[in-house]
């Protein structure tokens, strides 16, 4: 097989292609050329070499079907390979980051159902008198609340500080009052791994 010079060829209709390699048809051993559209590198073509190197008549004039234009530097292919490898590695990193983010915040919806139960338990204890707070029932609930709090903190849930703090519209929702300082907390708010999942409801003064 007479080797075809590799490089960029211009089709007689004007489009340019990159010759990738030469091949043999397994059925009839016919020589063929494998080439690529340089404007759409996802498109590869195969044409009999005899046809690829043939002449065509254009405006009553003979000219090559594919005319050699220029060679490509070897490092151009190396650059493409390196870019493709870098893109692949970046994709792997992004996929791992997305998976980590998903795992990190996947419990958010579940917490929206659990946290109200926790809040109501705290309110029930806070509403007890000093004498009632000493009862075995109240002490048992307080113990459960401590376990609840420890579990939430271990999972990255942090309660938003409110009373005495400067009002922060990113963390809190003012239900009454005017001013910049939180005077009273109506309902607690929470952050999951630094992200607000439930803003605190407060009164400002």
pLDDT digits (tens, 9 = 90+) for 115-165: 888 887 887 777 778 788 788 888 888 888 888 888 888 878 889 999 999
- pLDDT value, residue 138: 81
Same domain for 121 and 172, yes or no, is yes
Residue 1 lies in a domain: no
Residue at 3 is within a domain? no
Is residue 17 over pLDDT 70? yes
Q: Is residue 44 part of a domain?
A: yes
Among the listed ranges 9-23, 58-72, 107-121, which one has the minimum average pLDDT value? 107-121
- Same domain? For 25 and 81 the reply is no
Question: Maximum distance among all alpha carbons in the chain?
Answer: 111
Decide which of 106, 123, 152 is a domain's last residue: 106
Token reading at 61: 């004039």
User: Does residue 135 fall inside a structural domain?
Assistant: yes
- With a pLDDT cut of 70, the percent of the chain lying above it is 89
Residues 120 and 199 in one domain: yes
51 and 15, same structural domain?
Answer: yes
| pLDDT of res. 74 | 58
Average model confidence (pLDDT) across the chain? 85
φ, ψ dihedrals at 86, nearest 5°: -65, -40
Domain containing residue 78? 73-106
Are 61 and 101 found together in one domain? Answer: no
Residues 53, 83 within the same domain: no
Give residue 116's pLDDT: 81
**Per-residue tokens: 50:** 């005899």
pLDDT tens digits, 41-65: 889 999 999 999 999 999 999 999 9
Residue 53 lies in a domain: yes
pLDDT classification of 9: cutoffs 50, 70, 90: very high
What pLDDT score does 85 carry?
74
- Measured CA distances, 184 to 60, 196, 200 (Å): 93, 20, 11
CATH assignment at residue 24:
2.30.30.320
Of 33 and 82, more confident: 33
CATH code, domain with 127: 2.30.22.10
Pairing of strands 190-192, 200-204: unpaired
Predicted model pTM: 0.45
Q: Does 2 fall in a domain?
A: no
Query: How many domains does one find in the chain?
Result: 3
Write the CB contacts of 113 (distance below 8 Å, at least 6 apart in sequence). none
């Amino acid at each position: 097989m007479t080797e075809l010079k590799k490089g960029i060829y211009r089709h007689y209709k004007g489009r340019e292609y990159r010759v990738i390699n030469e091949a043999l048809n397994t059925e009839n051993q016919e020589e063929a050329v494998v080439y690529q559209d340089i404007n759409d590198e996802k498109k590869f073509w195969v044409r009999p070499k005899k046809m690829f190197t043939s002449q065509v008549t254009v405006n009553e004039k003979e000219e090559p079907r594919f005319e050699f234009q220029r060679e490509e530097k070897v490092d151009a292919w190396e650059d493409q390979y390196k870019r493709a490898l870098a893109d692949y590695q970046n994709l792997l990193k992004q996929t791992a980051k997305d998976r980590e983010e998903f795992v990190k915040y996947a419990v958010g919806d579940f917490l929206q159902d659990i946290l109200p139960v926790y809040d109501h338990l705290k309110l029930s204890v806070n509403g007890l008198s000093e004498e009632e707070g000493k009862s075995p029932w109240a002490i048992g609930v307080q113990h459960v609340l401590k376990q609840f709090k420890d579990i939430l903190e271990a999972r990255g849930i942090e309660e938003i500080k409110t009373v005495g703090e400067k009002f922060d519209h990113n963390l809190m929702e003012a239900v009454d009052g005017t001013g910049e300082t939180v005077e009273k907390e109506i309902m607690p708010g929470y952050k999951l791994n630094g992200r607000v999942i439930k803003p605190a409801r407060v009164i400002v003064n």
